[in-house]
Amino acid sequence: MAKISELLPRSAIVLNLQSKEKFEVISELVHPLVAAGAITEESEFVSAIARRENMESTGIGLGVAIPHARTKAVSSIVLAFGRSDSGVDFNSLDGKPSHLIFLIAAPEEQKTEYIMTLARLSKLLRKDEVRIGLNKAGSPDDVVRVIVQHES
Amino acid sequence: MERILLYVEDTPGMAAAVAWTLRLAKGMSCRVFALSVINPDAPLRRDTQTSDAEERAWSMLYEIEDDAFQKNARISLLFETGDSLQQLISLSTSYDAELIVASADCRLVCAELVRQSNRPVVFVK
């Protein structure tokens, strides 16, 4: 199974998210994945993400959100990462805004890989040193370096 | 009823507890809080010595979330560390859960949960 760092293209790392609203942030993160060819049907993928976001919170607390969807609109499992200095309201249970946002896109048929990627990413992001490293990262290479350093 | 707290553990009976809870939640249009607790001080079970307990806990939570999503049931995931019984009781208050659901084969001391909680508890077999 691929590591988190291997699923995150540098072109899909946005260190200064411009949007302030949840669905605009998601669009900002979806665009590079569409450009990379990982998401084949943008509108279908965004609809799937929106459906989940409208049903439940993907903010896991600690300033982290992991919007995710598994649909036919995705050709291979892939991640995007965005950082927001001001924070974005992802309806986290702790009531705090999310500053570190990882978007996960997975093909419909890759359920096991999708679940495991979510689990490994959630575990990784509970580590203080990972969140501190991601908040300090000055470049996409720094982001990948932090993840590589801490993922087992 | 608006909120159900589902205690999640890696036991053979968990699937039945999840199915029952999601059916109830869907039928009553209420929200499920799925809680997994890892106790760093507790010894790992023999069959999970080489696996990562935290990663397993998260994967169970996301499996349940995916299942809930397919069934149009509302769910939020909670992951905590510490004493399972105390976390369950404390979070049932924090989230104002009107019902606690656990699998009948969970490792919690069932009688102790019923005694300490001031909310209804259902053990699903």
Which residue range forms the structural domain that includes residue B40?
A: 3-124
Q: Does B53 touch chain A (CB under 8 A)?
A: no
Its pTM surpasses 0.95 = no
Under an 8 A CB cutoff, do A93 and B62 touch? Answer: no
- Flag whether the ipTM exceeds 0.90: yes
CB-closest option in B54, B65, B77 to A123: B54
What one-letter code names the amino acid at B52?
A: D
Confidence of residue B49 (pLDDT cuts 50, 70, 90): very low
Is residue B40's pLDDT more than 80? no
Confidence of residue B50 (pLDDT cuts 50, 70, 90): very low
Q: Does A145 touch chain B (CB under 8 A)?
A: no
Identify the CATH number of the domain in which residue B17 sits: 3.40.50.620
Is residue A152's pLDDT more than 80? no
**Given this model, what pLDDT does residue B111 score?**
84
Is residue B86's pLDDT more than 70? yes
Class at the top of the CATH hierarchy for domain A4-147: alpha beta
A1-10, A73-82, A117-126, B103-112: which range is least confident on average? B103-112
Confidence of residue A76 (pLDDT cuts 50, 70, 90): very high
B38 to chain A: closest CA residue: A123
Please compute the mean of the pLDDT values over residues B94-112 and round it to a whole number. 91
Q: Which residues pair with B7 in a beta bridge?
A: B35
* Alpha-carbon gap, residue A97 to A65, rounded angstroms: 9
In this predicted model, what pLDDT tens digit does every residue of A81-111 receive, in sequence order?
999 999 999 999 899 999 999 999 999 999 9
Structural domains of chain B, count: 1
Confidence of residue B77 (pLDDT cuts 50, 70, 90): very high
Under an 8 A CB cutoff, do A93 and B76 touch? Answer: yes
B79 neighbourhood in chain A, CB within 8 Å: 60, 122, 126
Confidence of residue B1 (pLDDT cuts 50, 70, 90): very high
Average pLDDT, chain B: 90
